[in-house]
Amino acid sequence: MNTSLSNISIEKAKVSKIDQVDFDNLAFGSVYTDHMLVCDYKNGSWDAPKIVPYQPITLDPSSKIFHYGQSIFEGMKAYKDSNDEAWMFRPLDNLKRLNISANRMCIPELPEEYFIDGLKALLQLEKDWIPKTAGSSLYIRPFIFASGNGFHASPADEYKFIIACAPSGAYFSGKVSVLIEETYSRSANGGVGYAKTGGNYAGQFYPTQLAVEKGYNQVIWTDDNTHEYIEEAGAMNIFIRINDTLITGPTSDRILDGITRKSLIQIAEDEGLEVAVRKITVTEVIKAAENGSLKEMFGAGTAAVISPIASFGYKGTDYDLPTMEDSYAVKLKKLITDIQYNRGEDKYGWRFKV
Ligand SMILES: *Cc1c(COP(=O)(O)O)cnc(C)c1O
């Protein structure tokens, strides 16, 4: 089936909300644009996508999303350059991952043109909503959920695909202190940790709340079996610099295949930094912290890009990380955002014109 922009119907909002938005003081993901893209799956296929005014959705109380949690999502951004041109970053990789998540959750796959043409049509309409202040962007949330009805515990027969957008400010997290998790798990072998599905995040809230009560901002997830291997930082992939080697764990059933993660690996290698994609234990990190070879730790993901970790706690002891003159986090963040905001050369072809 082939969709082109010409058959995405557009119902425009009667009044724009854009004048009510303070673009100089944007929080993250809390105000929404005038329109959204909606596409329904029923009778075994996806209907043509429509763009409609941003609005609430009505669902039957028996909708399977409420009971069995069949839901998946993506997180992306649109960036504006100094010439007011709009760009995205590797959007096809988000579609690929959405469909990997879809397969795991028994949700029907979404055809590429629905996603890409739908995004383009929506973003062309919402172009004025892409903020221009430094570090800001339009956060884009594509998601699919089970809208079909029935208390029977089985996959739904109807789904909704929606794209909503939120102009968002720079994601300053400040000095992040994290707790290495010894009890709870984010994901398990054979589980759904590699899928961007709602329940993974619901399951993280409680252990994270316990860590916050102890004075930390986030949890560092370890493997469910031994709690000895470092896996992810909150809802971000994690990078650890020991001496001059940048280490990150290999992706697996349990670790989400982040687009920021794989882009940073490539950029770092091309910058001549030593990168090791291998398992790393808590013991190795503690030893490195004690002998001074632990230089940096940071989370990597679309929302914050890179979120440096200032200290971490483990078994009742806190360890501080040094402040580095030649910070890899600072260097890599500049290189990746220069590509995203069209400030620098993109030798990879990652930038995508809207
Ligand atoms: C989304 C996400 C990431 C980061 O993925 P990006 O593609 O870089 O945004 C990492 N870990 C988890 C658990 C995530 O949900």
Choosing from 95, 230, 256 the residue with most ligand 1 atoms within 8 A of its CB, the one to mutate for a pocket test is: 256
Atom of ligand 1 nearest to the CA of 237: 10
Q: Is the pLDDT of residue 31 over 60?
A: yes
Model confidence over 230-286: pLDDT tens digits? 999 999 999 999 999 999 999 999 999 999 999 999 999 999 999 999 999 999 999
Query: Quick check: 76 and 88 in contact, CB under 8 A?
Result: yes
Kindly give the distance from the C-alpha atom of residue 236 to the centroid of ligand 1, in angstroms, as a whole number. 5
Distances (CA, A) of 251 to 76, 95, 194, 230, 279: 20, 18, 8, 12, 10
Residue 6: predicted pLDDT: 59
* Span 74-85, pLDDT tens digits: 999 999 999 999
Which pLDDT score, from 0 to 100, does residue 2 have?
Answer: 47
Taking residues 40-69, what's their average pLDDT? 97
Q: In a 10 Å sphere around its CB, with 0-12 CB exposed, 13-18 middle and 19+ buried, how is residue 214 labelled?
A: exposed
- Residue 226 has a pLDDT of 97
| pLDDT digits 0-9 by tens, 196-233 | 999 999 999 999 999 999 999 999 999 999 999 999 99
Checking if the pLDDT of 160 tops 80, the result is yes
User: What gap in Å lies between CA 70 and CA 206, rounded to an integer?
Assistant: 20
**Cα dihedral value 262, 245, 329, 305, nearest 10:** 20
- Residue 296 Cα, ligand 1 centroid: separation in angstroms? 20
State the pLDDT at residue 173. Answer: 66
Which of 100, 201, 221, 236, when mutated, tests ligand 1's pocket best, judged by the most ligand atoms within 8 Å of its CB? 236
- Give 3's pLDDT tier (boundaries 50, 70, 90): very low
Ligand 1 in contact with 259 (CB < 6 A)? Answer: yes
Q: Which two tokens stand for residue 348?
A: 């990879």
Give the whole-number percent of the chain exceeding pLDDT 70: 98
pLDDT digits (tens, 9 = 90+) for 303-327: 999 999 999 999 999 999 999 999 9
